[in-house]
Amino acid sequence: MTEQSRLRWQCRRGMRELDQLLLAWLEHDYPHADSAQIEAFQALLALSDPQLMRYLLGGDLPEDPDLVDVIRSILDRTSAQ
């Protein structure tokens, strides 16, 4: 299984809104992401669903600036569509 296939599986959270946000970033931005963004995205995927919901749908932001960068990138992608 390739890295991107593994991440695609981890993006499937069972909540349509989260799935769409995470998969869109994986497909469009991940291939061009730098190492800090890749690590932050992987760390984001390791969070619980309630935490992800707070960050991606609830407007909360973590203290980690790299996570904030990826979250904003994910939300910007959604705004641009």
Domain range for 47: 3-80
> For 56-67, what is the mean pLDDT?
94
* CATH code of the domain containing 65: 1.10.150.250
Interacting residues of 58 by C-beta distance below 8 A, sequence separation 6+: none
pLDDT for the residue numbered 4: 86
Q: How many distinct structural domains can be found in the chain?
A: 1
User: Residues 25, 77: contact at Cβ < 8 Å?
Assistant: yes
User: Residues 49, 18: contact at Cβ < 8 Å?
Assistant: yes
The answer to whether residue 80 scores a pLDDT higher than 90 is: no
Ramachandran quadrant class, 59 (left: phi over 0; alpha: psi -120 to 50; beta: rest): left
- Indicate the pTM of the whole model: 0.90
pLDDT for the residue numbered 81: 59
Written as six digits, the tokens of 20 are 């769409």
The answer to whether residue 79 scores a pLDDT higher than 80 is: no
Between CA 47 and CA 35 the distance in angstroms is: 19
